[in-house]
């Protein structure tokens, strides 16, 4: 698909040939290309082409009374004085004798004819088209992405966020900014946003100077782009990163071929933990609501208890089998009273849980992966980059557990003491989020962590 640099190259080459020429007549072979405008030919007849402009990926032919807007989409192209083919859908016969034709193998491109007075406002007001990178301010770009749950790759491709960037250039921009393509906008700091926009401007400027990228079929009136000679990651699958030496990889992400360096654009795994009744589950659910990947170790354990091979392993060690299933209450009574039995059960379950987590992690293409593990420190799970503790004071923890589960103080204390103390966990954690107030305060603290601590 022609992106901003390619469309700009087309604009320059067309302007050099047909600027100042007059349209004498038009032949339309496929009306959807001209937005099914029945008066298309009548409007444009005898109109002079005063200028050819561009906004993002749109061409704008400035005429006497109209602005003819052209969107090339996937495969649209212009040819001058070439033979008509089955892929020719619109032909402009010019006064000079030149014949300008529009070809489109997929028929996705479109023309729109708007009054000349709307030439500078139509795309923004009617299409929501954002400014090109070189016209975008740092503040405007950050405001557009800072609350977004979508990935930064999606945001760069969204023409209502920033204009003109397509898949090739988004891959290159994020590589230079050392930003994982799946990173959510709401986790990006102002400084990181500024860096992304800086590289967007640099990449688009260089690509424009070099006439765009000719990778598949793009050319402009016989001119091919040269930016493909400067690509760092796009199309470089299995090649070595020039910065860190890692192997460049390609994945399909949100329907687009996404090239990235796992060394320069790493994913991050965060172990999310907390004491009983600390608010960890609330924090975990909030992360899921925001669209983050959260691997729930308790859910994995629950699934393991339903697998025949696991049932067989446990039933050989504990007399807890009833009607072919594990009696979890009976098993819980055993392990709470017998530390050795608890360790024996852990020796069965923990390796299986760790293996399941690793499978899920490797299947995912995410910037942040949270592992919700209540006993993170107790079980010694090490395959994380950071640990995050949801902390509440022991007195608050006790009160919440009593109120939540309708327990006596003695029973609540017994459950709390069955885990590592919240104070000891606080010393082990990389980061601590205090949860002493209401749920909105916890959410705000989580937002701060996502944007500032991970910047």
Residue bearing tokens 């930003």 = 179
Q: Is 278 annotated as a binding residue?
A: yes
Of 166, 160, 154, residue with least CA distance to 127: 160
289 given a catalytic annotation: no
* Active-site residue identified among 3, 55, 75, 172: 3
Q: Is 455 annotated as a binding residue?
A: no
2 given a catalytic annotation: yes
How many C-beta atoms surround the C-beta of residue 409 within 10 A? 11
Of 150, 302, 177, residue with least CA distance to 233: 177
Cα distances (angstroms) measured from residue 368 to each of 102, 270, 392, 405 = 45, 7, 24, 32
Q: How far apart are CA 230 and CA 103, in angstroms?
A: 29
- The answer to whether the beta carbons of residues 383 and 307 sit under 8 Å apart is no
Q: How far apart are CA 137 and CA 197, in angstroms?
A: 8
Q: How far apart are CA 311 and CA 315, in angstroms?
A: 6
Q: In what order do the strands lie in the sheet with 431-434?
A: 293-296, 368-372, 268-274, 386-391, 431-434
* Active-site residue identified among 2, 5, 133, 374: 2
256 given a catalytic annotation: yes
Of 83, 77, 82, residue with least CA distance to 108: 77
* Active-site residue identified among 43, 131, 201, 256: 256
- The answer to whether the beta carbons of residues 153 and 258 sit under 8 Å apart is yes
Of 117, 114, 21, 116, residue with least CA distance to 71: 114
Q: Is 280 annotated as a binding residue?
A: yes
Residue bearing tokens 């995050």 = 388
Q: Is 151 annotated as a binding residue?
A: no
Helix count (H) and strand count (E) of the chain?
17, 17
Q: How many residues does the chain have?
A: 455
How many C-beta atoms surround the C-beta of residue 389 within 10 A? 26
Q: Is 109 annotated as a binding residue?
A: no
- The answer to whether the beta carbons of residues 394 and 417 sit under 8 Å apart is no
Strand 268-274 and strand 368-372: the pairing is parallel
* Active-site residue identified among 57, 183, 184, 236: 57
Phi, psi of 391 (to 5 degrees): -115, 140
Q: Is 448 annotated as a binding residue?
A: no
List of residues 6+ apart from 125 with CB closer than 8 A: none
Q: How far apart are CA 2 and CA 10, in angstroms?
A: 9
Of 237, 264, 233, residue with least CA distance to 250: 237
- The answer to whether the beta carbons of residues 273 and 428 sit under 8 Å apart is no
3 given a catalytic annotation: yes
Measured on CA atoms in the order 297, 301, 303, 304, is the torsion positive or negative? positive
Q: Provide the annotated binding site for ATP.
A: 277-282
Positions marked active-site: 2-3, 57, 256
Q: Provide the annotated binding site.
A: 277-282
């Amino acid at each position: 698909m022609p992106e901003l640099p390619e469309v700009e190259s087309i604009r320059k080459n067309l302007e050099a040939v047909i600027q100042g020429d007059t349209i004498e007549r038009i032949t339309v072979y496929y009306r959807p290309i001209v937005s099914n405008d029945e008066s298309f030919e009548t409007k444009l007849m005898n109109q002079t082409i005063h200028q050819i402009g561009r906004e993002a990926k749109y061409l704008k032919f400035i005429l006497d009374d109209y602005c003819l807007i052209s969107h090339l989409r996937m495969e649209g192209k212009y040819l001058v004085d070439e033979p008509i083919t089955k892929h020719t859908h619109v032909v402009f016969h010019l006064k000079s004798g030149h014949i300008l034709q529009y070809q489109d193998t997929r028929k996705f491109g479109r023309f729109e004819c708007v009054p000349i007075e709307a030439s500078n406002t139509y795309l923004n007001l009617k299409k929501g088209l954002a400014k090109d990178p070189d016209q975008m301010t740092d503040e405007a770009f950050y405001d557009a992405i800072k609350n977004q749950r979508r990935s930064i790759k999606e945001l760069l491709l969204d023409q209502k966020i920033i204009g003109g960037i397509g898949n090739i250039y988004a891959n290159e921009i994020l590589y230079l900014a050392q930003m994982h393509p799946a990173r959510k906008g709401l986790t990006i700091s102002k400084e990181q946003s500024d860096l992304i926009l800086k590289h967007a401007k640099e990449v688009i400027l260089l690509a424009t100077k070099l006439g765009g990228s000719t990778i598949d079929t793009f050319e402009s009136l016989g001119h091919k782009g040269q930016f493909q000679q400067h690509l760092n990651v796009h199309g470089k699958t299995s090649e070595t990163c020039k910065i860190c030496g890692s192997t460049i990889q390609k994945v399909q992400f949100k329907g687009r071929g996404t090239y990235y360096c796992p060394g320069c654009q790493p994913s991050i795994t965060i172990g999310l933990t907390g004491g009983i009744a600390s608010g960890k589950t609330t924090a975990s659910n909030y992360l899921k609501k925001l669209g983050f990947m959260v691997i729930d170790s308790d859910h994995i354990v629950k699934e393991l208890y339903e697998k025949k091979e696991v049932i067989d392993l446990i039933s050989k060690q504990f007399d807890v089998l009833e009607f072919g299933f594990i009696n979890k209450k009976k098993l819980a009574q055993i392990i709470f009273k017998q530390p050795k039995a608890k360790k024996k059960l852990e020796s069965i379950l923990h390796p299986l849980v760790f293996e399941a987590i690793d499978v899920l992690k490797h299947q995912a293409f995410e910037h942040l992966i949270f592992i919700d593990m209540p006993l993170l420190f107790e079980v010694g799970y090490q395959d994380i980059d950071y640990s995050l503790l949801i902390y509440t004071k022991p007195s608050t923890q006790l009160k919440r557990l009593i109120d939540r589960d309708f327990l006596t103080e003695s029973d609540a204390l017994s459950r709390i003491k069955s885990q590592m103390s919240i104070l000891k966990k606080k010393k082990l954690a990389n980061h601590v989020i205090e949860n002493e107030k209401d749920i909105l305060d916890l959410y705000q603290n989580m937002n701060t962590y996502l944007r500032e601590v991970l910047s």
